[in-house]
Structure 1
Amino acid sequence: MGSAPSSKPGSGLLDGLDPEQRAAACAPRGPVCVLAGAGTGKTRTITHRIAYLVRSGHVAAGQVLAVTFTARAAGEMRTRLRALGVEGAQARTFHAAAMRQLRYFWPRVVGDQQWDLLDGKLRMVGQAANRVGVNTEAEVLRDLAGEIEWAKASLVGPDDYAAVTLRAQRDIPEPAARVAEVYRAYEEIKNGARLLDFDDLLLHTTAALEEHSAVAEEFRDRYRCFVVDEYQDVTPLQQRLLDAWLGGRDDLTVVGDANQTIYSFGGASPRQLLEFTRRFPEATVVRLERDYRSTPQVVELANTVIGAAKDRPAGSRLRLVGQRPDGPPPRFAEYEDETAEAEATAHRIRELLDSGIPASEVAVLYRVNAQSEAYEQALTELDIPYLVRGGERFFDRREVRQAMAALRTAAARDADRRGDLATVVRSVLHPVGLSEQPPSGGAAKERWDALLALVELAEELENTVEAPELARYVAELEQRAAAQHPPTVEGITLASLHAAKGLEWAAVFLVGLAEGTVPIQHADGDSGAIEEERRLLYVGITRARERLELSWALARGAGGRRQRRRSRFLYGLLPEHHPAARAGRPQPKAAGKRTSCRVCGCTLTATMEVKLGRCTGCPSDVDEDLLARLKAWRVERARELKVPPFVVFTDATLVAIAEQRPVDDGALVSISGIGANKLERFGAEVLAVVHGSGSR
């Protein structure tokens, strides 16, 4: 596709876009679906599309509403739009957009004093659990809060919760009826206190638009063009709000990648993205597959991992094509235990820092947050600064609050103050603690780095706005603080794979890639959950621009039994000469395990089918009462052992037990997922539950 003629409005705006990006940016007004692989420049594409539509006169900037899923992504979108000369377009998260609209329309819709936003729901969930007699331990309350969030995001009320979760076979913290009671009590307590949680922002805004025609008319007159980023992650509730915003119109651009769907536990689904052309048959569809982020070596590894996924829908079959020069091949490493893995990773990071790579360009990514402790200790021992993503928020730090107060005062006192903005900011922050030379290390160095990041933000503003004043800079800071969009601070990033979504680094260490962690243990037996774990690893791989290192440990603690093996997703990826290439391969199934369907006799191959002992298409004869008793026993046992319920048995294993109703040890051990260790620890108790002789 050639360059657009210069006589066309916004033609210069499209300079620098590749043919596919250009096709998306200047697509006709109406439904547009951009299938954008990792690193293909989706944010650049959609911001140029917004700018092109505005400059071409198709829509006014103030009539554009762009929504995404993180405050950081929304802040980046606003920054890019401003650099393109687009002022007034709204770029917000779903929740931030809904809150703004709800606050505006509240007097007309409700009429009385506005309800406050609930700052965290755990305390109120605890009150609800206590009211209905459910355990109030912190871990249980977090799980219950997660279930309530999933239910509301999925448009499932308390009355329907039990039936829906049974169909979905969700792994839930308490029997479904009890969770529904807690859910109902939580809503009663919250509403009685005249409070809203984050999901209520979306629910009430949707109701205001659906049930009040005057409100809908005013909103739809104000906003005429919609852009949704990360569309593969929309929940049913977010989709319903989007439908209410549209009101039957089709001026909608969606951008997403089904290969990066990693939030289904929270109700997200790529279905809306994959079925976009079914809803809008006339939609323009553009595929972005040129990867400008990662080296060809990283891209090839990512393609191999995601290409092994089963039953990929057509809309997810993007194959990235690396556009950068060659880089080093990904490195694989196997360690004796997790401590050795963490120490070796820290020493590799020290080598990279000594070679000149900035600390902010290195990340250590893991599956669960509990894995960070070993890396925090190993990095500390080598005096390497680090930031735990998900820890204390940047704008909540004491030194940052002091700095912002000083900057506000300076801006108000010297409204006409001129000069190099970064120099002005540095002078204001000097009394707060920004010395000419950085402290040697420790907490003082962390505070100094945070203040320096504010100076670097001033430099960034100077590069996008002509002669910015201190007051403009302070306004930018206030907006970033409200959106929790912090500047970059020097330090190694420690983050979970979920928290790393949307970010990128020059060097990435993917650690802890052992079976039971990636994929996570409770995903085993559920093919959908396993494929989501594969997508999670794919997301981790595609965070790396140049260097990628993947590692795993054979034992948890020093001197422990070396009984782990590397993740199943890594088989076939290691070079043949690698020491671990032939080690730790999955063992053949133990003799005596069922390999044919007990209903139709067909050979079973899928993990879930082997576990259930039947084809998924054959009728289930699950004993619902027994299944409920087994889950109640599992909750009690997990509480005693202080482990998550899935560590005792997964939901799939309990379903298999409730279907097959084993009468002795031999029948019990024939169920996939119950080996000698599980039989010894839990066999007698499970058989007692099956025989109805008690909860234990």
Structure 2
Amino acid sequence: MTQASAEQLQIIGAPLTPMSVIACAGSGKTFTAVRRLAEIRRQLGNHRGRAALLSFSNVAVDTFRQEYQMLVQNASVGSGPSRVEIDTLDGFITANVLRPHAYRTMGARQAAFLVTGGESFLNGFKFNTDTYPREITKMQAGIDDGQFFFHYADNDNTRTLNTAYASGIINRLGQIGAYTHNLGRYWCHRTLAAQPAILRALARRYPHILIDEAQDIGTVHQAIIEQLVGAGCQVSLIGDPNQGIYEFAGANGSFLTRYGQRAGVSNLGLTRNYRSVPAIVDLANRLSIRADTADRCAPRTTHGAFFVSYRNADRENLITSFQAAVAAAELDPGRSAVLCRGRDMADRLAGNEGAPGQGTVKGLAQAAILRDRNKDYLGAFKLVTACILSLLADPPQGLVARLVQPARYPDDRPLRRLIWAFTRNADSGLPDSALTADTQWHPLLLERIRALLTTVERDHELAGVGNLGQKLARRGLPSAPLVTAADLTANDEPPRIRVDTVHQAKGESLDAVLYLANKEHAAALLAGVNTEVGRIGYVAVTRARNLLWLGVPANALEELRPTLLARGFQEAGVGAQGR
């Protein structure tokens, strides 16, 4: 997209007032938001305040930063382009509230630091449940009627914790300066409430904030935004309520919908879909009761929305058939995906079974599998980092989080490079997963970990634990490779199409999508966007540019077929050559 539409121009050039922008899927939100950010900064003129564009994922933030940089290079964006910040909402509150100021409210003697779950001292902060103690990183915070409550997910169910009990654990953790991703929002709200001068200064520094993917705003984020609005900050939201799929955090899109009804907030929209072919846009309209228009014309190759039945025993054959259909439609399998509702099913279909071994060895084995079979070097690095730091006698608090966030913690890059090299190099670092696990892989692992810890102690003054042999015992490792030769040679074949969850694919634009649903998921999709499961289905549908397949269980097909046809699906193999 190079030219703004009339709808986009209305948003980009609007006066400096709060806005609520309801945008359909594929409507060019990135294009619009970045240019709106530049226009806000231009209209601010010599005002020393900063304009901020915030979102919810590092991928989105990287895209925004690249787009803004190109805009700066290719066109004049007005005065003060440097007084612009692009970050995640959590990154914003970390930099401006948690790291410099939260320790006072937490009762800590040092700056607050993030913990991710790989720190050994967190064993003393597990919380009890009806079944077994859970990691503190699994505790969620929410706000209802102005009061905090705490809960955790138990499969698809949400379990509420006793507030006094949960608060006691959180406060104990806070007194050493530690917070988890979710509890950071809790401490941000408490800090801004307890230190109003910080809130006033923050509103002066950021007089205008634009929040993308605003349907993902949960109850605690919402409360923080209300604090900023109350202090005089003008907040604009852009998003699609029909893609609110984080209901466990209260992020169901309702805040975005209601925000546009406030006095003084301009209510605008983006209704043109630049991503999908007309058949998929028509389907999305029927599901969401919208009337968005497709910018694209129908291609000559096979395209559109189809349903196909499957039996659980034949899911692999269905994926193979889908991959063949992607190739026949001349689409890119690398930009296509099989999407599932749950992580467990996605892992099974992707072949991501759990690694053998116990404790730290199990984590390192999983890292080797991710690297060698899945080519997931970042995932392997994160696992190796947590495992290596668990083998240090007294690692600095928050070091795991610092090592996996290099942009925010540049001072830790030398240690990060050392662990990256260990992770990537199977010849001198994390051993090759094709080696026999108990007799070849494990002895090499022990030898190389010892060498790595020696280097870490020499160059970074971080001593290792004294009982390394016990920490890295080979219990649970098989007399077989971690990854079979067949799995590794499969990497020489055309890449197998990606299998992932809908949540992980949110925000992406994919050439082709197979949404593998059970009866409940398919029925919820067809019923529309009034439930979270229905919205998850809607997100899966609207990821697809050209081709969408909906996998429906064979035993539910007869019941669902009339509704499938009424919504605009075609049956695969029946009139499937173009539309």
Q: Please, what TM-score do these two structures have when normalized by structure 1? A: 0.55
- Which ranges of structure 1 fall in alignment gaps of 5 or more residues? 1-13, 308-317, 379-384, 413-428, 434-441, 444-489, 556-561, 582-696
Partner secondary structure for residue 151 of structure 1: strand
In 2 relative to 1, CA 578–245 (structure 1 residues): closer, same or farther, beyond 3 Å?
A: closer
In 2 relative to 1, CA 195–339 (structure 1 residues): closer, same or farther, beyond 3 Å?
A: same
String of CA shifts for 1:44-81, please: whole Å, max 9, x gaps.
Answer: 11110111222344476960122211121122111111
- Measured after TM superposition, the shift of residue 218 of structure 1 is 2.9
Which of 295, 300, 309 is matched with 1:334 structurally?
309
In 2 relative to 1, CA 568–255 (structure 1 residues): closer, same or farther, beyond 3 Å?
A: farther
Counterpart of 2:142 in structure 1 is 151
Partner secondary structure for residue 275 of structure 1: helix
Partner secondary structure for residue 132 of structure 2: coil
In 2 relative to 1, CA 172–352 (structure 1 residues): closer, same or farther, beyond 3 Å?
A: closer
Residue type of the alignment partner of 1:393? G
Counterpart of 1:243 in structure 2 is 226
Which of 83, 86, 92 is matched with 2:70 structurally?
83
Distance 1:577 1:495 in 2: 24
Distance 2:225 2:507 in 1: 22
- Measured after TM superposition, the shift of residue 563 of structure 1 is 9.7
Partner secondary structure for residue 267 of structure 2: strand
Residue type of the alignment partner of 1:257? D
Counterpart of 2:58 in structure 1 is 71
- 1:535 counterpart = 2:522: no
Partner secondary structure for residue 531 of structure 2: helix
Partner secondary structure for residue 105 of structure 1: helix
Counterpart of 2:483 in structure 1 is none
Which of 87, 108, 117 is matched with 1:92 structurally?
87
- Measured after TM superposition, the shift of residue 277 of structure 1 is 3.6
Report if the CA contact (8 A) 2:245-2:532 is conserved. Answer: yes
Distance 1:501 1:61 in 2: 35
Distance 2:372 2:296 in 1: 28
Distance 2:529 2:172 in 1: 34
In 2 relative to 1, CA 246–373 (structure 1 residues): closer, same or farther, beyond 3 Å?
A: closer
Which of 293, 301, 306 is matched with 1:321 structurally?
293
Counterpart of 1:358 in structure 2 is 332
Distance 1:569 1:510 in 2: 17
Counterpart of 1:549 in structure 2 is 549
- Measured after TM superposition, the shift of residue 554 of structure 1 is 2.6
- Measured after TM superposition, the shift of residue 22 of structure 1 is 0.2
Which of 35, 40, 53 is matched with 1:48 structurally?
35
Which of 304, 316, 319 is matched with 1:345 structurally?
319
Distance 2:511 2:571 in 1: 26
Which of 233, 250, 265 is matched with 1:267 structurally?
250
The structure whose RCO (Cα within 8 Å, separation 6+) is larger is 2
Distance 2:188 2:221 in 1: 11
Counterpart of 2:364 in structure 1 is none
- Measured after TM superposition, the shift of residue 187 of structure 1 is 2.2
- 1:294 counterpart = 2:281: no
Partner secondary structure for residue 337 of structure 2: strand
Distance 2:126 2:205 in 1: 43
Which of 111, 114, 129 is matched with 1:114 structurally?
111
Report if the CA contact (8 A) 1:154-1:236 is conserved. Answer: no
Report if the CA contact (8 A) 2:113-2:177 is conserved. Answer: yes
Distance 2:573 2:24 in 1: 33
Distance 1:106 1:129 in 2: 22
Report if the CA contact (8 A) 1:554-1:565 is conserved. Answer: no
Residue type of the alignment partner of 2:567? L
Larger strand fraction of residues: 2
String of CA shifts for 1:569-619, please: whole Å, max 9, x gaps.
Answer: 7362366877999xxxxxxxxxxxxxxxxxxxxxxxxxxxxxxxxxxxxxx
- Measured after TM superposition, the shift of residue 264 of structure 1 is 1.4
Distance 1:36 1:52 in 2: 19
Distance 2:331 2:166 in 1: 49
- Measured after TM superposition, the shift of residue 181 of structure 1 is 6.7
Residue type of the alignment partner of 2:87? R
Distance 1:389 1:497 in 2: 21
Residue type of the alignment partner of 1:362? S
- Measured after TM superposition, the shift of residue 105 of structure 1 is 3.0
- 1:199 counterpart = 2:182: yes
Partner secondary structure for residue 40 of structure 1: coil
Percent of matched pairs sharing the same residue: 20
Distance 1:241 1:188 in 2: 19
Residue type of the alignment partner of 2:84? A
Of 214-223 and 54-63, deviating more is: 54-63
Of 52-61 and 38-47, deviating more is: 52-61
In 2 relative to 1, CA 348–278 (structure 1 residues): closer, same or farther, beyond 3 Å?
A: closer
- Measured after TM superposition, the shift of residue 515 of structure 1 is 1.4
- Measured after TM superposition, the shift of residue 288 of structure 1 is 0.5
- Measured after TM superposition, the shift of residue 24 of structure 1 is 0.1
Please tell me whether Structure 1 or Structure 2 has the larger radius of gyration of its CA atoms: 1
- 1:393 counterpart = 2:379: yes
In 2 relative to 1, CA 126–395 (structure 1 residues): closer, same or farther, beyond 3 Å?
A: closer
Partner secondary structure for residue 84 of structure 1: helix
Superposed CA RMSD in Å reads 4.6
Alignment length (residue pairs): 445
Partner secondary structure for residue 140 of structure 2: helix
- Measured after TM superposition, the shift of residue 396 of structure 1 is 4.0
> What pairs up with 1:156-195 in 2 under 5 angstroms?
156-157=147-148, 171-173=157-159, 180=163, 183-191=166-174, 193-195=176-178
In 2 relative to 1, CA 52–569 (structure 1 residues): closer, same or farther, beyond 3 Å?
A: farther
String of CA shifts for 1:450-494, please: whole Å, max 9, x gaps.
Answer: xxxxxxxxxxxxxxxxxxxxxxxxxxxxxxxxxxxxxxxx87332
Report if the CA contact (8 A) 1:292-1:322 is conserved. Answer: yes
String of CA shifts for 1:662-692, please: whole Å, max 9, x gaps.
Answer: xxxxxxxxxxxxxxxxxxxxxxxxxxxxxxx
